[in-house]
Every structure is written in structure tokens, then in C-alpha cells.
């Protein structure tokens, strides 16, 4: 028994991967409609999910002056403490 995924174009089933069957062979096909793919998530939804996955104690370690001192944190430039 072989399971394959195919798309229906209105007339024929088109396999999504190569099928190793002899030409002219008779098949018994059972059709199960696959669940539609979930729509892609918006970037802010992904950011919220990532933020929720961070352990609570780790947020206390994140610098609060990251925008002002970005070069300090990325490249070691002198820190701006003004």
C-alpha cells in the first residue's frame, strides 16, 4: 500500500511527488481532504509567542538602554550613560 498527496485540478489528480507505479495499472483510491494550511502568522504574533516563551527571570537581565547603547552592546563602543 502506498500513500501519496495529490492536488485535484478539476479533472485529474496530480501527485505532489513522483509515483513509482507501472503505466496502466488499476488503482483503488480513497479520498481524504487534507486540512488547509494555517495562514502565516503576523510578525507581531510571532514576537509575542517568542516573548512568552522566555522564562520570567530572564527579562530582568535584558538591558533597558539597548536603543541608546546599541553600539556598546554590539561592538563594545563606549557606553552612553547620559
Question: Of 63, 3, 76, 56, nearest to 34 (Cα)?
Answer: 3
Q: Mind listing the pLDDT tens digit for each residue in 17-52?
A: 888 888 888 988 888 888 887 888 899 999 999 989
- Would the pTM of this model clear 0.75, i.e. be above it? no
Averaged pLDDT score across all residues of the chain = 88
Ramachandran region of residue 58, left (φ > 0), alpha (ψ -120 to 50) or beta? alpha
pLDDT bucket at 74, cuts 50 / 70 / 90: very high
Query: Domain limits of the chain?
Result: 43-75
Q: Can you give the pLDDT at residue 19?
A: 85
Give the C-alpha separation, 73 to 61, whole Å. 13
Integer CA distances (angstroms), 45 to 40, 42, 49, in order = 10, 5, 6
Give the C-alpha separation, 18 to 16, whole Å. 7
Amino acid at each position: 500500500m502506498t500513500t501519496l498527496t495529490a492536488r485535484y485540478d478539476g479533472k485529474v489528480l496530480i501527485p505532489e511527488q513522483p509515483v513509482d507505479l507501472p503505466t496502466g495499472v488499476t488503482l483503488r483510491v480513497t479520498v481524504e481532504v487534507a486540512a488547509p494550511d494555517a495562514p502565516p502568522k503576523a510578525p507581531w504574533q510571532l514576537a509575542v509567542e517568542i516573548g512568552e516563551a522566555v522564562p520570567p527571570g530572564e527579562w530582568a537581565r535584558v538591558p533597558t538602554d539597548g536603543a541608546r547603547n546599541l553600539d556598546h552592546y554590539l561592538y563594545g563602543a563606549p557606553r552612553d550613560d547620559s
